[in-house]
Amino acid sequence: MPRALRRTECLVAGLLCVGYGVSVAKAEEGKWIVEPSSVEVIISISSDTQIIDHGEERSAARMIMNCRRSNKKTNIRFVSSISRESTLIVRFGGGSPHRYSTLIVPLEDHAAFLAEALANQQMRIRFESQKFEEAVFDLRGLKEAIRPFVEACDLAASLEAAAAAPAPAAEPSKPAEPKETTVGSWHLRETASSIDDKPNYLLSATSSTGTHALLLRCLEGTADAYVVGEMFFRESGAPPFQVSFDAGETQSFESSRSRDGKALFFNDARSFIRAAKGHRAVTLTVPAGTGKLGDLEALGKPLERTFSITGLETALAGFEKRCVVKERP
């Protein structure tokens, strides 16, 4: 039943509300939320899968479309609690990716965007950043949900023209099975990007104690190097890694911690990967941890962990062709 939309609800929803107290009739078409009022029509949907940043924080992405009745102006944008200003990559079904310079779809692309959405059952999006993975939207039910939106902004003709222009959209392709191999001391996992079908890589090596893992990741063309395992941070920041290769001279690498405190990243992945080549083992310090429950002696000390890294050059063969090793901000 129609009700007045309060100011706080407008702000929480991330919507632009004009005139608080406007009567809104909220309805759901499958997973779509349709909110028509005398001022505008808003349609929104949340992703089925959550995007994840390097700190293991997860958040569903949300697509919000609104049509202002007064000037027939439409707006299509994507939001997430962990998204930042970034290039937006959108892919419908098994089609080619579309890139937008912001998280807002340009006005001139609205008709083509909606026509392609109506022709497909699935949409995948990514914020082009080394920290975020993609989110998947189930588009079924859009044909019914979008009717008040189309009527309010007189979009029927432009949608029909846009739908007639491109070739029929391809059906969603089944993701290729991951390839997993062992190269020297490294476990190598190769998966296909759902954005451009190019390979992503994850190399992992386990410490001699079995408590920590050293990972080298190439995700959508950007590399990361980090350690996961039991850690105890005494301060809010992250201590630098103290690293030695083959028991040689100690080097210092700046680090940044994940939000959950379970991962510590090398700020300069390029330097670490280059330094590691040609060596058989690496010993590095991780933040003080208990190791075992009640081990108070270890609590105040950095822990040394040693990893065998034989075979790294061979394991990096595909990784380096795909990935631009960038310094983390």
pLDDT of the residue at 64 = 94
Least confident of 152-156, 161-165, 249-253: 161-165
Please compute the mean of the pLDDT values over residues 181-186 and round it to a whole number: 93
pLDDT of the residue at 311 = 94
Please compute the mean of the pLDDT values over residues 97-126 and round it to a whole number: 88
Cβ neighbours, 10 Å, residue 278? 11
When pLDDT is cut at 50, 70 and 90, the band that residue 235 belongs to is low
Domains and CATH numbers, the chain: 3-164 (2.60.40), 179-322 (2.60.40.1880)
Phi, psi of 216 (to 5 degrees): -120, 120
Least confident of 189-198, 210-219, 261-270: 189-198
Could you give the count of Cα atoms lying within 13 Å of 227 in the half-sphere of its Cβ?
Answer: 33
Report the distance separating Cα 115 and Cα 99, nearest Å. Answer: 17
Q: Taking a C-beta distance cutoff of 8 angstroms, is the pair 139, 122 a contact?
A: yes
* Amino acid identity, position 15: L
Helix intervals (H) in 140-192: 142-145, 147-152, 156-164
Tell me if residue 312 falls in helix, strand or coil.
helix
Share of the chain above pLDDT 90, in %: 36
Residue 117: DSSP 8-state: H
Beta strands in 117-192 (DSSP E): 122-127, 135-138, 179-183, 186-192
Both tokens of residue 31?
């997973």
What pLDDT, in 10s, does the model give residues 77-93?
988 776 656 678 888 88
Higher-confidence residue of 70 and 100: namely 70
Higher-confidence residue of 56 and 77: namely 77
Q: For residue 216, what are the β-bridge partners?
A: 203, 225
pLDDT of the residue at 131 = 53
pLDDT of the residue at 22 = 41
pLDDT of the residue at 7 = 34
pLDDT of the residue at 170 = 47
pLDDT of the residue at 68 = 93
| Cβ-count burial 177-196 (b if 16+ within 10 Å, e if not) | eeeeeebebbbbebbbbbbe
When pLDDT is cut at 50, 70 and 90, the band that residue 96 belongs to is confident
Please compute the mean of the pLDDT values over residues 281-300 and round it to a whole number: 63
pLDDT of the residue at 81 = 74
Report the distance separating Cα 271 and Cα 276, nearest Å. Answer: 9
Report the distance separating Cα 132 and Cα 278, nearest Å. Answer: 31
When pLDDT is cut at 50, 70 and 90, the band that residue 225 belongs to is very high
Least confident of 37-41, 85-89, 207-211, 275-279: 85-89
Cβ neighbours, 10 Å, residue 119? 18
Please compute the mean of the pLDDT values over residues 52-60 and round it to a whole number: 61
Given the structure tokens 């349609």, which residue do they identify?
A: 43
Answer yes or no: is pLDDT of 199 > 80: yes
Tell me if residue 32 falls in helix, strand or coil.
strand
Higher-confidence residue of 255 and 325: namely 255
Report the distance separating Cα 52 and Cα 196, nearest Å. Answer: 19
pLDDT of the residue at 26 = 56
Quick one: which of 99, 114, 100, 174 has its CA closest to 145? 114
User: In Å, how far from its chain's centre is CA 310?
Assistant: 31
pLDDT of the residue at 5 = 40
Please compute the mean of the pLDDT values over residues 230-244 and round it to a whole number: 77
Least confident of 8-17, 150-159, 261-270: 8-17
Quick one: which of 90, 189, 172, 175 has its CA closest to 134? 90
Answer yes or no: is pLDDT of 302 > 70: yes
pLDDT of the residue at 23 = 44
Given the structure tokens 């920590």, which residue do they identify?
A: 212
Please compute the mean of the pLDDT values over residues 101-117 and round it to a whole number: 89
When pLDDT is cut at 50, 70 and 90, the band that residue 276 belongs to is very high
